Amino acid sequence: MSREILAVQPSAVQNPPMTFPPEPSQRIHKAWLALEFSALFLGVPAVVAAGWVPVLVIPLLLLMAVGCGLALRYRHQICLGDLLRPHVSGTEWRSLLLHFLIALPCLAVLLWAIKPAAMFSLMCQHTSTWLLVMLAYPIVSVLPQELIYRAFFFVRYRPLFGQGGGVLLASAAVFGFGHVVFHNWPAVILTWIGGWLFANTYQRTASLLLVSAEHALYGCAIFTIGYGNFFFDGTLRLLR
């Protein structure tokens, strides 16, 4: 008997464990998530960009943020207070500021190269609008975007994209694509890069407060330097 046991053991070790296909309910859930993802993050921006739905960007953004917040609260039992996580290490805040200070002159040089006439145009020519943007933009634009594209996205679509590089790439891609509503490629490219940066920050810290602060810094800098023309149809048109 002992020889038979010894003879069976090697084959048991060599054979890989059996794998089973996903349950039908799991496949249906993923299919529904894929459909929902495509409608919200691809369909809605495409429809707005095509002009089929005459709606201002900011009210639509706020409406989506409310919907995503409700979904997090009642579908995933996560409230906004749980997402803020203000107690982030000082190292993270210092890293955020260091990266921003490095990126700031790069953004200025880039605009000088592609559109020098736009340098500081909003701040100098429309100072009151610039001040209003500096005050309102972090609240009415940044926080809703981060709630949608980071907090909601990372929780809701984890079954589709996982928790590693897949969800980072997907979050950055749809964040950039969402800006097709402004009808120019600089807005899409800049926000794709920003989306990758913000997604990394959120994945590393899970702090909605930190990533919103980072987003606000870059956004306010972009409007100040003179990139506002690329984002005019949304934030500025509403505030003027």
Give per-residue pLDDT as tens, 14-31: 555 555 555 668 888 899
One-letter identity of residue 51: G
Q: What is the mean pLDDT of the chain?
A: 88
Residue 225 lies in a domain: yes
5 domain residue, yes or no: no
| For residue 213, pLDDT beyond 80 | yes
Above 80 in pLDDT, residue 206?
yes
Q: What is the pLDDT of residue 17?
A: 57
pTM: 0.85
Q: 219 lies in a domain? A: yes
Say if 10 falls within a structural domain.
Answer: no
> How many domains are there within the chain?
1
For residue 103, being part of any structural domain is answered with yes
What is the pLDDT averaged over residues 221-240?
72
Sign, Cα dihedral of 83, 84, 87, 89: positive
Domain hosting 224: range is 39-80+90-239
Residue 6 has pLDDT above 50, yes or no: no
Q: Is the per-residue pLDDT at 238 higher than 80? A: no
HSE toward the beta carbon, residue 236, CA cutoff 13 A: 21
Q: What is the mean pLDDT of residues 176-196?
A: 93
Q: How far is CA 171 from CA 14, 21, 47, 167, in A?
A: 40, 27, 19, 6
Q: Is 230 in contact with 187 (CB distance < 8 Å)?
A: yes
Domain annotation covers residue 14: no
1, two tokens: 């008997």
13 in a domain, yes or no? Answer: no
Within a domain: residue 201?
yes
